Amino acid sequence: MNKTDIQAMPAGLAGAGAGGTARPKVTTFATELGRIAAIGLFFAVCLFLFRSDPFILNMMAYTFLFAALSTSWNIIGGFGGQFSLGHGVFFAIGAYTTANLYFHWQVSPWLSLIPGMILASIVAVAVSWPTFRLKGPFFAIATLALNEVAFVLATYFDSVTGGPRGMLLPFKAGLVNMVFTSRLPYAIIMVGFLLISLVVAAYVLRGRLGYYLQAVHLDEDAARAAGIDVLKVKLTGMAISAALTGIGGALFAMYLRFVDPPTVLNIQDIGVKFLLIALIGGVGTLYGPLLGALLIIPLESYLRATLGGTIPGINLLILGGLLVLFALFMRRGIFGALQGAWERYRGARS
């Protein structure tokens, strides 16, 4: 193999330093648990401070939700290097499963998270089985097509999805129904979801599966030669990622209390958003997606609130511009840039 251009690598992997020849010490799962707990504590304080500001709470709920979704996408998309643009489908499955069970049979959304996860995983494995034969951009395009197919199907089968009219979920406030009058409980639920996805991602990354996924990402043939069942590893990563994405869809459905194809199967607002956030934050790193969401989602809702009325679509324009800037100057995302700065600082001190 030729000398690999370290800068060309979109963000690092695992510990992800990649600046020099020495690699930063790889942390253990226990260390990451501590860090995740600290993050949770910090967000709890934020929620407490803004507990009576509905605008900020709404923004935080969305930020945490998308941070979690992007973290989930990152398991297969970042660690495993399989650039899925079809995660919107798993998101929609979670949303529709929960919405249907709640709407028709009044099943508590807390319970319907489980069938939603399972269904999302099954569909993910079923559609990934053939698409994983494709590599790189071909895989990405195939998964993009998946999202479009799902859109048409969801519009057509209106007995399950309510078709183009969508499903409006009845407002019956209560913890069991996951319906609240205030935005605070939603924001708390989203933080919970974020912490869960971070823990799962850390567990995967620091375990055997994480190494397998990274090996598959770096060189599939070499992974095979090392005795790794490449297809099985990809499918496992995809199933875990899709299950978490399904949870996100369910929470989104209960927060909005409305599900229709243009909302949940929207390519630019859902399907591509997960990887956009991960790319900007630092794809393949544990905390990159979180950093990306902390930047993108508040920025977007601010733009929508201030300029959305006068210049519709300005948020997309600015997001696109940001992505170009990151692709040009911060190939390893915010996380990579921060890590580089930290290493330079430490290098300068020693």
Locate tokens 């690699």: which residue? 23
Q: Name which of 323, 333, 346 is nearest 16 in CA terms.
A: 333
Locate tokens 């079923």: which residue? 126
Segment near other proteins (CB under 8 A); pick from 91-99, 171-179, 187-195, 217-225: 217-225
Q: Does 350 bind other proteins (CB under 8 A)?
A: no
Compare residues 152 and 226 and give the one whose CB is closer to other proteins: 226
What CA–CA distance (Å, rounded) separates 23 from 19? 8
Query: What angle do the packed helices 184-206 and 29-49 form, to 10 degrees?
Result: 170
- A 10 A CB-CB count for 289 gives 37
What CA–CA distance (Å, rounded) separates 63 from 202? 20
Compare residues 218 and 341 and give the one whose CB is closer to other proteins: 218
Q: Does 226 bind other proteins (CB under 8 A)?
A: yes
CB of 325 to other proteins, least distance (A): 24
Segment near other proteins (CB under 8 A); pick from 165-173, 181-189, 222-230, 269-277: 222-230
Identify the residue among 188, 224, 240, 261 touching other proteins (CB under 8 A): 224
Instruction: Write each residue from 14 to 53 as x if it is in contact with other proteins (CB under 8 A), else as -, in one continuous string.
Output: x---x--xxx------------------------------
Q: Are the beta carbons of 284 and 68 closer than 8 angstroms?
A: no
Terminal-residue alpha carbon distance, the chain = 34
Locate tokens 């999302």: which residue? 120
CB of 229 to other proteins, least distance (A): 5
Identify the residue among 73, 96, 212, 287 touching other proteins (CB under 8 A): 212
Identify the residue among 171, 227, 329, 350 touching other proteins (CB under 8 A): 227
Tokens for 238, please give them. 């995809």
Residues that bind other proteins (CB under 8 A): 1, 3-4, 6, 9, 12-14, 18, 21-23, 208, 211-212, 214-215, 218-219, 221-230
